[in-house]
Structure 1
Amino acid sequence: MNKPFSAACERNREPILSVLATHFADCSHVLEIGSGTGQHAVHFAAALPHLVWQCSDRPEHLPGIRMWLDDAALPNTPPPLALDVNTPWPPIEVDAVFSANTLHIMAWAEVERLFAKLPAVLKPGARLVIYGPFRIGGQHTSPSNAAFDASLRAQAEHMGIRDLDAVKALATDAGLLHLADIPLPANNRCQLWQAL
């Protein structure tokens, strides 16, 4: 098996890191939901050695993630966990959660399950950062995002760029306070919440 690679991860890792370095500065244990290739994990864990960076993803993605973790051999990246929003989550409690480019891949019912399950893993005061494209007030923020949304829906009806207000409503129901909407390059954003 060849080590998986995402060009998007290479492009967006530095802008995301600037957000995490600020907002995870006082955190110690991060759960990354949907680690994908594992590229973000090794980059962020190397740059933020005060954090234990816990990868997780659906079981079929774990071998690729392990390849990145094994090659990097960092002391703060434990073995990845199998985590599917549709099944029981592993028992873990953290003071930070990060997820990139996941909400538009999951079905909306799965996004709802994700937020419903977050309170079980978040310590009081924990931070949540979600990166990706969002619609604002029901509208796309750029022509490129509108085209991306159309391509997602052409791949599978359940996929699509999510409306920020709808996501914020799920977060509120999960006991999360929205702290910031941080614009990043390529019409993406980081959404920051804190557990109450």
Structure 2
Amino acid sequence: MARLLLFNKPYGVLSQFTDRGSPTVRATLSDYIAVKGVYPAGRLDRDSEGLLLLCDDGRLQARIADPRFKMPKTYFVQVEGDPQAAELERLRKGVLLKDGMTLPAEVARIDPPDLWQRDPPIRQRKAIPDSWLRITIREGRNRQVRRMTAAVGLPTLRLVRWSIGDWSVAGIAQGAYRELSGPAEIGSGAQGR
């Protein structure tokens, strides 16, 4: 039976088990996860937080990470500025980035979600408001959500991946993980929405 771990990755942690070649010591998955034989299914940038899936099954890993399967990934995104209808519509229709047009995204403005405190906290500027968006994408380009919000004039301040398919970080403390308990629980998350 495949093993699947849902890890709530803190800010500043690399999505890998080792950090080769860096002159400074940076936190890695090995600082949080002592399970042997599991590997990240996809990546989450060092400066992003939230759900990172780890598994020991190559087929499941490909189903989660490969853009061909278009598994939905939902993010809570704190942006600088006050998003207007036109900016949100551009995100919904797809945004032209240097590596091409993104697929359409599901985008909604939301109240600040009930999340853990980030360490270090984001910078606050008195004269510039910030807002929260829920963005769901079905592809996984490098730093895609950050680049999309920047392209419409809403720089990302904080990025938290909340779910992948039906798997969610809800109820998992920052820096902790939960191992799924059986084929039904593992298989159901891969269905997506």
Q: Which structure's relative contact order is higher, taking Cα pairs within 8 Å and 6+ residues apart?
A: 2
Task: Give the shorter-chain TM-score range.
Answer: under 0.3
Structure 1 length-normalised TM: 0.27
Structure 2 length-normalised TM: 0.28
Q: For the pair shown, which has the larger CA radius of gyration, 1 or 2? A: 2
